[in-house]
Structure 1
């Protein structure tokens, strides 16, 4: 049987374990695949497994939640940042994003930055659907739930995609940092940060120079 090295990342241990057990008991029978499955419940745990996998066995498949607490030790703010790192580290990896997020702007941003082979909304699927999705992704197909298909169709003209620096600016502003202090922790000049903030205010349609409104809107849209 073909062996696949898998990582399941979700901040709900019971949910992550349910996915693991279903894959071991059901999905491998369908695919004639043996799975070696690790689970991680935080960004830090996921990064540790990812780093070890670079040395030992490359990851073949990651099932990735987005709503994760920021890393304390690494420059990772969410599952979206993890997905971007996974693309950098593993050439042949397949990523299935499995999230409860329901904000179209945030979801479309994830679609553009991670480019997942599978993109599923938790409320749209069951474990049976997930097993089928895993099978299809491993066979080379892309699998999107209905909500994502509708989103992609409706957002094709959207040119605004928030990158790593944008998300860091929003994150540190939400922690109470002043704009003048951001160049000390973000590799960008003060002028560059101000320009980024101006564009973010335009994207989120918030008042000029109102950081609180910008942060609150970013939270509502699922970026923080």
Structure 2
């Protein structure tokens, strides 16, 4: 029986991890599956954007994206993470299925990604084995959502706030983390300085940060995987 050819993008900042994912996916297609993969690999947001752009320009398809949340930001500061790439994929390639793989195990962060991105599969690296990765691919290929056990456990827990950290919020956190001054932020973020300051105050409230400065906010945001 002829196998269906599927295209996939693996985006993770570690080359070894990317090669491991590709090898596992290749082993799936050699055995029982009725599909095979043509796989691209990238280690940062710039590379991923180039592949997305090429897919659109050539009017081809991108069936799967395996996406790490912690990717190196794009050089123009417009795509700051794997989550931003996910938003872009949802907008430009709505039929592409997203498998999120992350080392983050923060309850609020997991809920936030589910609400904002709604990936077809969500795996934590603490759960990740070759069998777990195979199961995710097989299920998603058959239109069955697949979440790893840690994600499912966290989803059962209540979160203290329904506030979603959006792209603008993450841009503010990123600019703070690299030492940008508030007066300069409107050059990179499409808001006035007053609106950015208001958002920053709200972020401190959401993260329960009491410090008047920004250091504690940056540390908490990094701990929760937003930077």
Q: Is the TM value for this pair above 0.5? A: yes
In the alignment, is residue 87 of structure 1 matched against residue 90 of structure 2? yes
Q: Distance in 1 between matches of 2:25 and 2:188?
A: 41
- Residue in 2 that maps onto 1:190: 193
Q: Distance in 1 between matches of 2:176 and 2:200?
A: 10
- Residue in 1 that maps onto 2:55: 53
In the alignment, is residue 173 of structure 1 matched against residue 176 of structure 2? yes
Given candidates 137, 148, 163, the residue that maps to 1:145 is 148
- Residue in 1 that maps onto 2:21: 19
Q: Distance in 1 between matches of 2:141 and 2:77?
A: 30
Paired residues of 1:9 and 1:63 also in contact (CA < 8 A): yes
- Runs of 4+ residues over 3 Å off in structure 1: 155-158
Task: Select the structure that is richer in helix.
Answer: 1
Note the aligned Cα RMSD (angstroms). Answer: 1.6
- Residue in 2 that maps onto 1:132: 135
Q: Distance in 2 between matches of 1:184 and 1:203?
A: 25
Given candidates 36, 39, 43, the residue that maps to 1:34 is 36
Q: Which deviates more from structure 2 when the two are superposed, residues 210-219 or residues 113-122?
A: 210-219
Q: CA deviation at 1:180?
A: 2.1
Equivalent position SS for 1:123: coil
Equivalent position SS for 1:92: coil
Residues 59 and 155 (structure 1), Cα distance of their counterparts in 2 relative to 1, 3 Å cut? farther
**Residue deviations 1:50-101, cap 9 Å, x none?**
1101122221110111111111145111111111111111121110001111
Equivalent position SS for 1:133: helix
Q: Which deviates more from structure 2 when the two are superposed, residues 68-77 or residues 192-201?
A: 68-77
Query: Could you tell me the TM-score, scaled by structure 1's length?
Result: 0.94
In the alignment, is residue 164 of structure 1 matched against residue 157 of structure 2? no
**Residue deviations 1:111-130, cap 9 Å, x none?**
22211000001111211221
Q: Which runs of 5+ in 2 are unaligned?
A: none
Query: Could you tell me the TM-score, scaled by structure 2's length?
Result: 0.93
Q: Distance in 1 between matches of 2:138 and 2:129?
A: 14
Q: Distance in 1 between matches of 2:180 and 2:76?
A: 19
Alignment of 1:63-102 (within 5 A): 63-73=66-76, 75-102=78-105
Q: Paired residues, what number?
A: 224
**Residue deviations 1:140-191, cap 9 Å, x none?**
1110011111111213673111000000001001111122221222101122
